[in-house]
Amino acid sequence: MIDLRALRENPEPFRASQRARGADVDLVDRVIAADETRRQALAAFENLRAEQKQVSRSVGKASPEERPAILASAKELAEQVKAAEAASSAAAAELDDLARQFANLIEGAPSGGEEDYVVLRHEGGEPRDFAAEGFEPADHLAIGEGLDIIDTRRGAKVSGARFYYLKGWGMRLELALMTAALDAAVAHGFTPMTTPTLVTPQVMGGTGFLGAHSDEIYYLPADDLYLTGTSEVALAGYHADEILDLSAGPKRYMGWSTCYRREAGAAGKDTRGIIRVHQFNKAEMFSYCRPEDAEAEHARLLAMEEEMLALVELPYRVIDTAAGDLGSSAARKFDCEAWLPTQQRWMEVTSTSNCTTYQARRLAVRERREGGTSPVATLNGTLATTRWMVAILENHQQADGSVRVPEGLRPYLGGLEVIEPVGATA
């Protein structure tokens, strides 16, 4: 939720934010008008209610001759108060509906759409020159099938398109990634958590996921619950309706969960393999901090993501995502994209967003400070996910079909250095 007082007092930054996102700029004026209507309706209700109380108090002091007229006036006022209260509630609901359509105020993100990101830097060295090594790289699915560690055919047989099995060293490689992420998070002071993957509409909506892309979310109408596409949702709801003590610094959590996404808008995109699937595992960082500390906390989360990418020895680039490609909750977002040799493109593997106070306002997460309570800032970032296996398999493949295990993951795989091809079972 945006800061209505800030919008009312200085609407131009909000207009600029909407313009940069390619969103509806006129929404600013509609929200301001609805806020004025709400405040007028509330004032009218409160004035009538005060008058009603005054008249009610005068009944006992009135003479028998005056009392009938006063009672009639009180009755008429009661009807007026009831109508004014209904009008005030309706105006508040209208304002809330409009305000919830408003995306977060961007902070430093480039203007434009999906292709207007800014590349901040390249890391991890130059991508391998497979031609110089004398062989054509295979894609991750061909490698995975050759090693008998990924089975999409049986995944589709059991659950449909975009499902898969991870087998043997495939399952263990994913677990190694997640466990390495867990160790990294704990080393940086994060509290590890296994989170619920079903949440209420209030929590899902509070994090900003029930807007334009709500069709990407699995919904269970019989239970009125949503399957989460990231543990960010459950972690954001963890402290809903609470007042936090951040005097000792941010509260930092790492959620380990299975995630579910409908991929409703992904028809024809990344249909081969496990790049874009309906179910995957993810280690997600989440931080509650003071708004003035959010920018530094954002840099901290990005640095941790880059530590993990260095651990698995992937060439990657860091991009500053354009405003039009941000989720509604994010004020700014940095993505790390690993090189995908067989597609000659960069593929997103991590994302970290500064949501400022947007989610906290919706979920009533506050901090007690001098003069009262105020919303905190929330931030999130990916520390590892199943998709990383795509980049690991392709970048570390060898000419004989084997895959070299990055040194940073070997302790989690019993010291295994190479995953060797095996005969696939029928």
Active-site residues: which are they?
261, 276, 348, 351, 387
HEC profile of the chain: CCCHHHHHHCCHHHHHHHHHHCCCCCHHHHHHHHHHHHHHHHHHHHHHHHHHHHHHHHHCCCCCCCHHHHHHHHHHHHHHHHHHHHHHHHHHHHHHHHHCCCCCCCCCCCCCCCCCCEEEEEECCCCCCHHHHCCCCCCHHHHHHHCCCEEHHHHHHHHCCCCCEECCHHHHHHHHHHHHHHHHHHHCCCEEEECCCEECHHHHHHCCCCCCCHHHCCEECCCCEEECCCCHHHHHHHCCCCEECCCCCCEEEEEEEEEECCCCCCCCCCCCCCCCCCEEEEEEEEEEECHHHHHHHHHHHHHHHHHHHHHCCCCEEEEECCHHHCCCCCCEEEEEEEEECCCCEEEEEEEEEECCCHHHHHHCCEEEECCEEEECEEEEEEEEECCHHHHHHHHCECCCCCEECCHHHHHHHCCCCEECCCCCCC
Q: Is 37 annotated as a binding residue?
A: no
Q: Is 351 annotated as a binding residue?
A: yes
Q: Is 230 annotated as a binding residue?
A: yes
Q: Is 279 annotated as a binding residue?
A: yes
**Using CA atoms, how far apart are residues 369 and 389, in angstroms rounded to an integer?**
45
Q: Is 25 annotated as a binding residue?
A: no
Q: Is 348 annotated as a binding residue?
A: yes
β-strands 332-340, 165-166 pairing: unpaired
Q: Is 214 annotated as a binding residue?
A: no
**Using CA atoms, how far apart are residues 354 and 332, in angstroms rounded to an integer?**
5
Q: Is 345 annotated as a binding residue?
A: no
Q: Is the dihedral of CA 72, 73, 79, 82 positive or negative?
A: negative
Q: Is 278 annotated as a binding residue?
A: yes
Q: Is 231 annotated as a binding residue?
A: yes
Q: Is 306 annotated as a binding residue?
A: no
Tally of CB atoms within 10 A around 215: 9
Q: Is 194 annotated as a binding residue?
A: no
Provide the greatest CA pair distance for the chain. 109
Contact call for residues 399 and 133 (beta carbons, < 8 A): yes
Q: Is 133 annotated as a binding residue?
A: no
**Using CA atoms, how far apart are residues 251 and 336, in angstroms rounded to an integer?**
24
Q: Is 350 annotated as a binding residue?
A: yes
Q: Is 159 annotated as a binding residue?
A: no
Residues making up the binding site: 230-232, 261-263, 277-280, 284, 348-351, 380, 382
Q: Which residues are annotated as a binding site for ATP?
A: 261-263, 277-280, 348-351
Extract the annotated binding site for L-serine: 230-232, 261, 284, 380, 382
